[in-house]
Each structure stands twice: as C-alpha cells, then as structure tokens.
Amino acid sequence: MNGRATTAEKSRPRERGSVALLAVTGWAVPGAAHLWLGRRQKGLVFLIALPLMFVIGLLLHGRLFPFEPSQPLVALAAIADVGLGVPYLIAKAFGLGAGRVVASSYEYGNAFLIVAGLLNSLVVLDAYDIALGRK
Amino acid sequence: MTHFLLLLLFAFFVSLVFAVLMRDEPREQLRTGGLLFGAFVGAALVLGWLMYPLPI
C-alpha cells in the first residue's frame, strides 16, 4: 500500500452513511473530505485557502452575523458564515468576529467571511458528488 | 491596506478555490485560475470606471 487512492477507488460510489459522515467532516474541516477521498492536492489547497480567507476576514474587522430571522439578509449571512465549520465555531467560542462597523475594511471583512463559508459549502457538495461516483 | 489590494487578495482566493474545484489537472487549474482572476479584476475596474460619474 502506498497510501494513494487509485482512479477506480476515487470514483467508486460509497454507501450513504459514509457519504454523510464525509460531508460532515468536509464541513467541519475545509478540504478534509477531499483528502479522505484521496484528492490530496485539492484537499490541501482548500485546507489552507479557506481558513486563511476566514482569518483575513476577521483581521479586517468583519462580523460573524447572528441568526436573526427578523432580518432575512443577516440570517442568510449567518448561514453562509457557518459554512466554514470548526474555524467558525472556534472564532465564536473566543468571541471573535464582533465586527467594527466604523472600520474602512468592515465590508471587505464581511465579504471574506461570507464567501469563505459559501466556498466551503461548494467544496462539500463537490466531495459529496465525488463520493457518490457522479464525478 | 488599500481597497485595490484587498480586491486583488479576494479575487486571488476565489479564483484559486474555483479553479481547483472545477479542474483536475494542475495546468488546467492554473489557466482557469488566471482567467478567473483576470476577469474578476477586469470587471471590477470596468464597473468602477462606469460608476465614476455617478454622484456619491
């Protein structure tokens, strides 16, 4: 065994249970699902790029939006933020992402945070498709 | 950090992730990423100039 998945192994459809676990892992740790599936290069890029985007968003004084159903756009931004998984949970646990509205980089920070979460959601969907043998 | 630099940084990350997501071969990823990055920056500059005459 050389630890590398063959093309056949990569494209082999998996069972529903393991696919669900794979999706949850991919959500929690960006790129982990691709690493699990043997797509090492893709997994490493996601593992580095997405948390880095998230950290840059926090450094730019972006806000991790709260779930406020009375404000639909804020609620949607909150859902997007959660898309990054564990980095989001860590930031929330440490009280980061309060956002500083008066900072000139505030909107940029929000863009980085929201887009990092949305991109990770796309990454999870991609891994899901690969696991089901659709790609 | 200037707004333009932040724009470049944002375009870089989004292009990188999309290119790696969409293509499997490193060469294709580089090409797609470069095209996306150019398109992001070009569109931002064009839209910026188009909005220039508008009152603040």
pLDDT, tens only, A56-100 = 999 999 999 999 989 999 999 999 999 999 999 999 999 998 989
Residue B42 has pLDDT above 70, yes or no: yes
Residue A3 has pLDDT above 50, yes or no: no
**Minimal CA separation from A67 to chain B, in Å:** 25
Residue B2 confidence (pLDDT): 87
What is the model's pTM? 0.88
B21 and A115 in contact by Cβ < 8 A?
Answer: no
Distance CA A1, CA B12 (A): 37
If we measure between CA atoms, which residue out of A98, A87, A10 comes closest to residue A49?
A: A87
Return the structure tokens found at A50: 């997405």
Side chain identity at A26, as an amino acid letter? G
For B26, nearest residue in chain A (alpha carbons)? A41
Q: Is B30 on the interface with A (CB under 8 A)?
A: no
